[in-house]
Amino acid sequence: MAKFVLTDPVIVFAGSTITSSCASVTVSLSADDVETTAFGVAGGYRTRIGGLKSGTVDFEMHQDFGASGIDSLFFPNLGGTVAVKVRPGGTAAISATNPEYQFDVLVTEYASVDGAVGDLATTSVSLPITGEVTRATAA
């Protein structure tokens, strides 16, 4: 896969595809920075090892109160754990060059209304990942 413009990712939240309601998605993963500096380190530089990993997923969405819209997916799951899948490369089959990130999130926040007069109704969330993140390369 070459460089590409992000227009058609697959985004699944709680079993429902929410791609066409999303304007932005960010999967951010990190590892703790654990210092191991001891006396006598070479050159006087600190040393480190990677610690526990964690992550968040951010969505910017167009709000929709329809029967299977955004509100119907987020409001009932507030406080719960939900499965999320993000395949940046699009709807082609999962492969080594079109990986899908699969994980669970804890729904810690949800703004059902977020906008000013005349604005398109939107809502944004930043949810912590709970448990392992899988980078699937085969269906």
Partner 1 sequence: MPSLSDIRTGLATNLGNITGLRTSAFVPDEPKPPIAIIFPDNISFDTAFARGLDTYTFSVQLIVSKVSDRNAQSNLDAYCNPDGDSSVKAAIESDRTLGGLIQDLRVTEVRDYRAATINENTYLTVTFVVTVYA
Compute the distance between CA of residue 123 and CA of residue 70 in angstroms, rounded to an integer: 9
Compute the distance between CA of residue 5 and CA of residue 104 in angstroms, rounded to an integer: 26
Query: Of 54 and 69, which CB lies nearer to partner 1 in the complex structure?
Result: 69
Beta sheet of 81-87, edge-to-edge order: 16-17, 10-13, 81-87, 100-106, 122-136, 48-62, 22-35
Query: Of 43 and 118, which CB lies nearer to partner 1 in the complex structure?
Result: 118
Compute the distance between CA of residue 67 and CA of residue 72 in angstroms, rounded to an integer: 7
Query: Of 8 and 71, which CB lies nearer to partner 1 in the complex structure?
Result: 8
Instruction: Compose the 40-69 pattern: x for residues touching partner 1 by CB under 8 A, - for all others.
Output: ----------------------x-------
Query: Least separation, in Å, of the C-beta of 124 and partner 1?
Result: 13
Q: How many residues bind partner 1 (CB under 8 A)?
A: 14
| Continuous H helices in the chain | 70-74
Instruction: Compose the 17-36 pattern: x for residues touching partner 1 by CB under 8 A, - for all others.
Output: --xxxxx-x-----------
Q: Is 9 in the site for partner 1 (CB under 8 A)?
A: yes
